Chain A
Amino acid sequence: AQSVTQLDSHVSVSEGTPVLLRCNYSSSYSPSLFWYVQHPNKGLQLLLKYTSAATLVKGINGFEAEFKKSETSFHLTKPSAHMSDAAEYFCVVTPRSGGYNKLIFGAGTRLAVHP
């Protein structure tokens, strides 16, 4: 079975400071992992994905995440937060096997960025 836990429901940072959104996963199979972002009143947008290539994955808007199998983690980071980064972030896992893989979403982390 697969599951994902986002360790913080809310994170608040100052503009220009680093962002860390934590995610731990559980998967019976080698997983694919994703981070999606949802801005207010907008659809979900893929930030980045890990699908068995490099363990450090770079995404859009300066975000990156590192797959750590030993820690079953896939934390999302950004060196310097921008006001426009304020949104809800979802960590997602799916088993990388077979032709159909259901996306399992975490509960989400709401990121607030203040001046």
Chain B
Amino acid sequence: GAGVSQSPSNKVTEKGKDVELRCDPISGHTALYWYRQSLGQGLEFLIYFQGNSAPDKSGLPSDRFSAERTGGSVSTLTIQRTQQEDSAVYLCASSPPDRGLNEAFFGQGTRLTVV
């Protein structure tokens, strides 16, 4: 596709359920990032992938959060036993090789609501 694609666009889940959020980066982009944007807040870094490995997971808020990337492409962010404070927009970004973060392209995000 032409851009970073995230699915679903909206997700409503009950407290305590697990959710999976998907990100399809731009083809050929080796770097992939997950961010979280809570209501009225800036973007909070969660995790970074280079290829399939995650050299920086420092932003994951708890062990309920995990992410993986397969084939150097699609990434899944999993939140287990969701809590109301997990409600936010989860944004994925990718960037091409050799550019570091000088050119990051963002998806439209997944709006997660935990009720």
CB contacts between A and B, total, < 8 Å: 59
Kindly list chain A residues whose C-beta atoms are within 8 Å of the C-beta of B80.
none
| Interface residues of B, count at CB 8 A | 25
Q: Once the chains bind, are A107 and B41 in contact (CB under 8 Å)?
A: yes
- Of A41-49, A59-67, A78-86, the one contacting chain B is A41-49
Q: Which of under 10, 10 to 19, 20 to 34, or 35 or more describes the interface residues of A?
A: 20 to 34
Q: Once the chains bind, are A42 and B108 in contact (CB under 8 Å)?
A: yes
* Given A42-B108, A43-B109, A46-B104, A90 and B48 contact (CB-CB distance below 8 Å): no
A/B interface sample: 11 pairs, CB < 8 A: A42-B108, A43-B91, A44-B93, A45-B106, A46-B103, A46-B104, A49-B102, A51-B102, A100-B100, A103-B104, A105-B35
B residues at A contact (CB < 8 Å): 3-4, 31, 33, 35, 41-45, 48, 50, 55-56, 91, 93, 100-104, 106-109
